[in-house]
Amino acid sequence: MLPRLLVALTTLLSLAYVVSAIPANVDRLYPIGPRDAGRKCGNDLTPEDVSEKEKAFASLLAQNKAAEKVTAVAGNFTIPVIFNVVYASMNISDGYVPDSQVQAQIDVMNQDYNGTGLSFQLQNITRTLNATWFNNAAPNVDVQTDMKNALRQGDVKTLNIYTVGFTSSSALGLLGYSTFPADYAGDPMNDGVVILYSSLPGGSEASFNLGRTSTHEVGHWVGLYHPFQGGCDGPGDYVDDTPAEAIPAAGCPIGRDTCSSPGLDPVQNYMDYSNDACMNNFTPGQIARLQSQIQTYRGIQL
Ligand SMILES: *[C@@H]1O[C@H](CO)[C@@H](O)[C@H](O)[C@H]1NC(C)=O
Ligand SMILES: *[C@@H]1O[C@H](CO)[C@@H](O)[C@H](O)[C@H]1NC(C)=O
Ligand SMILES: *[C@@H]1O[C@H](CO)[C@@H](O)[C@H](O)[C@H]1NC(C)=O
Ligand SMILES: *[C@@H]1O[C@H](CO)[C@@H](O)[C@H](O)[C@H]1NC(C)=O
Ligand SMILES: *[C@@H]1O[C@H](CO)[C@@H](O)[C@H](O)[C@H]1NC(C)=O
Ligand SMILES: [Zn+2]
């Protein structure tokens, strides 16, 4: 059980990191890895954001269930993937990742989503030289809108992944971020997942180069929240079988227990912040949620 102060501090910090540089004192909470503040995903939602999204979801889901548009899962769906490689020079350290790493990333996603009813098929790799996008793309930044407007292909069922460098001060330290299924209708061109190029399998980002950043961000793309969303109290990530967690995990703290509610922290869950090698599961509750999210918002029939 961690002191409430720490919980409050972490909530504040996690809200702040998208819009400003990481406060130095965050290091204390994430004392691992070359990315000195550990895994950082740009998907931060306030409890108000989440509760609004969930009210709308509950009501749509009820309507769709009544209309039998959301059904018990019977089969599998293959998601077409457009892989947009954005680079600053034709050097791998400037984002020019080889096709073999892209295919290896798709393979990791197929392993990690095995049993969810989803699989992924590479449809196209685009390669674009643009140092501005490579360096500065980040959540809610105009150049990432330019990038997506120029590159996005496909429809609501198509997964667009963008690899960039996150080198600018507002993006520095990010491993990735994603839109949620419910966001598509209001802003279709913004839909997709943006990840650090060196997080691909075989990439140079130590502790985060087995491809699990993509697995995690695609988890948001299919409607999952972080298990530490909301901390120990309240509905958390809206999944019953992911025990509540006060703060993100870092490294691989198996056995950690930050909330008095039942269950150890789900540090090996793909939606936590642990190292790539630590992560190995989605829970049945997460699988049920992602299936109803994509049936509701992406028109995907399983
Ligand atoms: C869906 O895919 C899984 C894993 O490949 C397989 O075990 C299952 O039989 C498939 N289900 C259907 C209905 O094809
Ligand atoms: C690629 O970048 C690395 C690191 O900056 C550098 O050491 C290497 O010389 C570069 N290679 C080429 C072919 O420019
Ligand atoms: C999915 O799991 C099944 C059963 O465990 C296994 O046979 C299959 O090879 C797996 N597929 C992938 C892509 O990992
Ligand atoms: C792949 O993307 C390019 C744009 O970069 C497009 O011209 C081409 O038609 C696409 N190919 C396929 C098979 O979708
Ligand atoms: C590179 O990005 C900038 C900023 O979004 C944009 O103005 C420019 O057109 C882009 N260049 C190319 C070649 O895509
Ligand atoms: Zn995340």
Residues 175-226: tens digit of each pLDDT = 999 999 999 999 999 999 999 999 999 999 999 999 999 999 999 999 999 9
Q: Angle at CA 22, nearest 5°, toward 21 and 28?
A: 165
Alpha carbon separation from 192 to 24, 146, 259 (Å, rounded): 30, 14, 32
Return the ligand number nearest the Cα of 154. 4
Residue nearest to atom 10 of ligand 2 (CA): 91
Active-site positions read 217
Separation of CA 91 and ligand 2 centre (Å): 6
pLDDT of 67: 75
Of all ligands present, the nearest one to the C-alpha of 106 is: 3
HSE, side-chain direction, 13 A CA sphere, residue 216: 36
How far away, in angstroms, is 66 Cα from ligand 6 center? 32
Q: What pLDDT, on a 0 to 100 scale, did the predictor assign at position 74?
A: 63
Which domains does the chain possess?
A: 75-224+284-302 (3.40.390.10), 233-281 (no CATH)
Mean pLDDT taken over the chain:
87
Question: Tens place of pLDDT for every residue, the chain, 302 residues?
Answer: 444 444 443 433 333 223 223 322 222 223 233 344 568 888 888 888 888 888 888 888 888 877 777 666 667 899 999 999 999 999 999 999 999 999 999 999 999 999 999 999 999 999 999 999 999 999 989 999 999 999 999 999 999 999 999 999 888 889 999 999 999 999 999 999 999 999 999 999 999 999 999 999 999 999 999 999 999 999 999 999 999 999 999 999 999 999 999 999 999 999 999 999 999 999 999 999 999 999 999 999 88
pLDDT of residue 83: 98
Q: Does the C-beta of 280 come closer than 6 Å to ligand 3?
A: no
What residues are in contact with ligand 4 under a 6 Å CB criterion? 123-124, 126
Which residue's CA is the nearest one to ligand 4's atom 8?
124
From the CA of 107, give the closest atom in ligand 3: 13
The pLDDT score that the predictor gives to residue 36 is: 46
pLDDT value for 127: 98
B/e letters for 172-197, b = 16+ CB within 10 Å, e = fewer, are bbbbbbbbbbbbbeeeeebbbbbbbb
